[in-house]
């Protein structure tokens, strides 16, 4: 288990982390989710020992490691921009941590071979990082981090620099990898879909504070506050209440004008304007859209099926 207790960090006058406490269960896959500047990367770097907190403590499996240097924390770290050792081959990159630990040559050979198979780079051992694609480089960086058998795997926006398709592939692949290796993993992301897809537990952060911690379903259905409601999933605002687009019900309620109807395959997106000038959009199935005769210029009545109001 990884614990951060009352961690505070300032950069000059900017408060990156403000009295943050979080617990990450052993063997879990946890996401730190938040917009840029929310402190999620800083928290990850403090757990790794790459930054020192101004106050507070970090514990791994009950041991206080706050003053331990990164070398002695048993963490694997994966950077957004790979941080590949450019002058070393893929093989040498992955072997780095083992060579530092002076492991026997035969052990290094077996372990690197096995890891390169695991990250599907078996045939590219002699390449240099510059000769790899972004996705391949990130898989190499992951193998390099896993080579030293870390207690904790930390990933800082690991897919942030990759294009959408590769990102989805790697996401599924990381989930499978975690199921195989079971190392306690924390990853930082600003992409709520990525967090919901991958993580057992999501820690939502903003402005150096934790807004809510929970599973994807819990955050979506029972957001603790306005920030979580608007950051996790799509949302409309009607007066002071918040409504998910799929919770907009047609037939009764306030009068609205259909301004635009967008067909996105199975899903239809209906953009509406209420009599008081407020805009909102509804997510309906194709069948519903046909049944309700939702076309541009139609006059309809809408009301929220569920709505949330925060203090």
Partner 1 sequence: MLSRYGLRFAALSYLTLLLVLPVAMVFRRAFENGVGAAWDAVTTPEAKHAFLITIVIALIAVPANTIFGIACAIAIVRHRFPGKGVVNAIVDLPLALSPIVVGLSFLLLFGTGGWFAGVPFEVLFALPAMVLATIFVSLPFVVREVVPVLREIGTEQEQAASTLGASSWQTFRRVTLPAIRWAVAYGVVLTTARALGEFGAVSVVSGRIVGKTDTLTLHVEERFQSFDYVGAYAASVVLALLAIATLVAMSVFKPKEGR
Q: Where on the chain is the footprint of partner 1 (CB under 8 A)? A: 48-50, 69-71, 73, 75-77, 79, 81, 83-88, 96-97, 100-101, 141, 144-145, 147-148
Closest separation in Å from C-beta 121 to partner 1: 17
Q: Which is nearer to partner 1, 129 or 208 (CB)?
A: 129
Q: What stretch of H or E contains 70?
A: none
Specify whether the CB–CB gap between 7 and 59 falls below 8 A.
no
User: Please, which residue, 12 or 297, has the CB nearer to partner 1?
Assistant: 12
How many C-beta neighbours within 10 Å does residue 196 have? 18
Q: Which residue has the tokens 């982390």?
A: 17
Decide the pairing of beta strands 75-78 and 152-156: parallel
Q: How far is the CB of 76 from partner 1 (least distance, A)?
A: 7
Cα 295 from Cα 232, distance rounded (Å): 29
Q: Which is nearer to partner 1, 100 or 181 (CB)?
A: 100
Q: Which is nearer to partner 1, 137 or 244 (CB)?
A: 137
Q: At what angle do helices 105-118 and 134-147 cross, to 10 degrees?
A: 140
Task: Classify the C-alpha dihedral 101-103-109-113 as positive or negative.
Answer: negative
Residue 81 or 291: the one with the smaller Cβ distance to partner 1 is 81
Nearest distance in Å: CB 96, partner 1: 6
**What number of other Cβ atoms are within 10 A of residue 190's Cβ?**
17
CB of 53 to partner 1, least distance (A): 17
For residue 142, the minimal CB distance to partner 1 (Å) is 12
For residue 213, report the phi and psi dihedrals to the nearest 5 degrees. -125, 135
């Amino acid at each position: 288990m990884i614990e951060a207790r009352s961690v505070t960090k300032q950069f000059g006058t900017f408060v990156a982390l403000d009295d943050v406490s979080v617990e990450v269960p052993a063997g879990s896959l946890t996401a730190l989710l938040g917009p840029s500047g929310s402190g999620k990367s800083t928290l990850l770097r403090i757990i790794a020992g790459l930054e020192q907190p101004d106050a507070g403590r970090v514990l791994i499996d009950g041991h206080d490691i706050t003053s331990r240097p990164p070398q002695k924390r048993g963490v694997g770290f994966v950077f957004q921009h790979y941080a590949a050792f450019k002058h070393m081959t893929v093989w040498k990159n992955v072997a780095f941590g083992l060579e530092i630990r002076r492991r026997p040559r035969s052990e290094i050979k077996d372990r690197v071979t096995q890891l390169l198979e695991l990250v599907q780079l078996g045939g590219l051992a002699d390449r240099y990082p510059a000769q790899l694609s972004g996705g391949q480089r990130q898989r190499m960086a992951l193998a390099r981090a896993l080579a030293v058998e870390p207690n904790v795997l930390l990933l800082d926006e690991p897919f942030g620099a990759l294009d959408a398709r590769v990102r989805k592939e790697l996401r599924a692949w990381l989930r499978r990898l975690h199921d195989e290796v079971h190392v306690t993993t924390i990853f930082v992301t600003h992409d709520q879909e990525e967090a919901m897809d991958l993580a057992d537990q999501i820690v939502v952060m903003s402005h150096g504070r934790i807004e809510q911690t929970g599973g994807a379903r819990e955050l979506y259905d029972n957001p603790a506050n306005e920030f979580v409601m608007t950051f996790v999933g799509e949302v409309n605002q009607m007066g002071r209440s918040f409504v998910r687009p799929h919770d907009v019900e047609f037939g009764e309620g306030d009068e609205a004008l259909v301004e635009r109807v967008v067909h996105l395959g199975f899903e239809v997106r209906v953009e509406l304007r209420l009599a008081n000038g407020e805009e909102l959009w509804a997510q309906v199935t194709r069948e519903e859209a046909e049944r309700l005769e939702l076309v541009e210029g139609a006059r309809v009545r809408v009301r929220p099926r569920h709505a949330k109001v925060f203090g």
